[in-house]
Amino acid sequence: MTFIIDTCKNTVNMLAKRSQNVDNIELFAQEITEHVLKQYAHISHAYVDIIKHKWSRLNVDGKPHPHSFVRDGEDVQTCSVVQERAGNKITVKSGLKKLLVLKTTGSAFHGFYRDQYTTLGETWDRIFSTAVDSEWTFVAHDANTLRRVNFPAIHDSVKKVTCDTFATDDSASVQATMYLMQTQILAKHPEVAEISYALPNKHYVGMDLSKLGLDNTGKNMDIYYPQADPSGLITATVARKPDSKL
């Protein structure tokens, strides 16, 4: 087992040293799966997962510093590649994780089903905050097809659509905004076979300041605190028909 772990580690480092695609994690992951299947005839599937953290160059005296960086936000870029020997099927899943967003208005939630156990009140204006987890999938039976996909550009586009839609949509619900993001991305990128989102509710509620003689209700509400109680996790996957895949 120690030999196998050592071999895997050294293989990745060797390929990273030789590769021109380390920054393009989807392509680099395919280089690893391709190498594994060529090297070991008894292996039928090769799996690779990569997480890419975001570092931004520090600005000193208004100029980018040549060798100093800062972790700019907690969001990460991910990819998962599976390559099968049979049929040379390759599945690439790209992801955007831990993107924390918040807006102070432009979100509502009302008209939902109620029964004897419902205590949540309807609201036409609320804080909307969530930590975006998104994953989108590419499928092909030809490695050259996926080599031509501009993965970094699609990642940037997904992030932009996500942020722009979150900011500008007059949200009827988290579900409605999430679906709008997904349909826009599929319309913009025919290479993407399906896209999923997981958006947990991060509720902020008004602080009761009445005991201090202060009105923090209705239009006067501007002091909030994050709610620690369990909240909803909204998930959805929107996919094309199978014959629409690469």
Q: How many domains does the chain have?
A: 1
Annotated binding site for urate: 6, 109, 126, 174-175, 201
* Single pTM value for the model: 0.87
Annotated binding site: 6, 109, 126, 174-175, 201
Annotated binding site for O2: 201
The pLDDT tens digits of the residues spanning 99-121 come to 999 998 888 888 888 899 888 77
Annotated binding site for 5-hydroxyisourate: 6, 109, 126, 174-175, 201
Query: What is the C-alpha separation between 207 and 162, in angstroms, rounded?
Result: 30
Is residue 133 within 8 Å of 98, Cβ to Cβ? yes
* CA quadruple 193, 100, 151, 196: dihedral, nearest 10: -10
Other beta carbons within 10 Å of 209 = 14
- For a pLDDT cut of 70, what percent of the chain falls above it? 97
pLDDT, position 246? 55
pLDDT, position 205? 84
Residue 112 structural domain: 2-244
The pLDDT tens digits of the residues spanning 34-52 come to 999 999 999 999 999 999 9
The secondary element (H helix, E strand) that includes residue 236 is: strand 233-239
Q: What is the CATH number of the domain that holds 179?
A: 3.10.270.10
pLDDT, position 65? 94
Pick from 92, 94, 195: nearest CA to 145: 92
